[in-house]
Homo-oligomer: A and B are copies of this chain.
Amino acid sequence: MDWHGEGISVMEMSHRSKAFASIAEKTRDDLRKLMEVPETHEIMFFQGGACQQFSAMCQNLLGEGFPQGANYVTTGTWSEGAVKEAKKFCDAKEVTNNKGTKYSTVAPHTEWDIKPDASYFHFCQNETIQGFEFHDFPWEVIPEGQLVCCDMSSNFASREVDWAKFDLVYVGAQKNIGPAGLTIVILKKALFDRPARKDVVLTSHYQLFSKAANMFQNTPSCWAIYMAGLNIAYMLEQGGLAKMKERAIERSTMLYDYIDSSEGFYVNVVEKQYRSRMNVPFLVKDSDDMAKKFVAEARENGLIELSGHRSVGGCRASLYNAMTVEGVIALVEFMKGFKERNM
């Protein structure tokens, strides 16, 4: 209710006030530190979620004089969404699509059908709904000169990023970073000189946002920026990215190990090398009714938000940075008991 003696809360502040500018600057600086973002890249705060970046990417990177095509790797719901949106703006090529396997794997990269005359190459590093994560991306497939764009919404801040490899990274904050309503865009600064499409919408315009810097192009989601700042500072205090990664591996390994040892009572269909450290979807006795029973009983035991996404059914445990190792231990214990009672 009274931020640093201002007499008002952060929710009431003008986004152009000195007080708020200092909050936004600290959030950005701490994020740069946490994610080791080099000075070659700019950090910007947008609204609209990763979904808005699906069009922003096209509108900003496909200006006049650049190839009007792009490559998209489709490994789940979010990369599906990205290529669908891109088709409104350009010749968006799906280089591979493994929906037939329920996105449990991806075809070998040697079989990908890549458009040579494209402006950029897009992939989603972690598919929230399918629990599919690229731990080692086959970088060699990307044709020289194509920009690399990546949706890191759901695994950002859980692993290091080799920034030299990325031109555009976008992140809906509501997983590891802060409350919903904030989108982080990290762009190679050299791209600010690249002319955007004429129909780039004001609220997606990278160049304008960068120029406005802490003053912002339009009113940002102030509270979400403030909360993200507190959470980023907390992650730094906890030991930073190395610690976040270590815990992510610990949590997810524990859960996958138990699932794999459950004699088929619980099943995660994703090929091991692509299993997400953040999102663990699983079937319960291969039955939707059993999954519903699982979710209901888990809830009675204080274990919530375990439904799979409505588009795929089953269950899903999201093990974001805020989840404790103890939380996963409690989940596994509950899963053991539920199996005993329902074998």
Chain A interface residues toward B at CB < 8 A: 6-8, 11-12, 14-17, 47-52, 54-55, 81, 85, 88-89, 172, 174, 179-182, 198-204, 217-224, 227, 302, 304-305, 310, 322
User: When A47-B47, A49-B218, A181-B220 are in contact, do A201 and B304 touch as well, CB less than 8 Å?
Assistant: no
Chain B residues whose CB sits within 8 angstroms of the CB of A81 once the complex forms = 202
Let me know if A180 and B7 touch, CB within 8 A.
no
Complex Cα–Cα for A202 and B54 (A) = 8
Let me know if B222 and A181 touch, CB within 8 A.
yes
How many copies of the polypeptide does the oligomer hold? 2
Let me know if A55 and B181 touch, CB within 8 A.
no
The answer, among B6, B89, B200, for a CB contact under 8 Å with A304, is B6
The answer, among B6, B52, B304, for a CB contact under 8 Å with A8, is B304
Tell me the smallest distance from the CB of A339 to a CB of chain B, in Å.
24
Complex Cα–Cα for A11 and B226 (A) = 13
Let me know if B51 and A85 touch, CB within 8 A.
no
Complex Cα–Cα for A304 and B5 (A) = 12
Complex Cα–Cα for A14 and B179 (A) = 10
Chain B residues whose CB sits within 8 angstroms of the CB of A14 once the complex forms = 305
Which B residue sits closest to A204, measured CB to CB? B201
Complex Cα–Cα for A85 and B223 (A) = 27
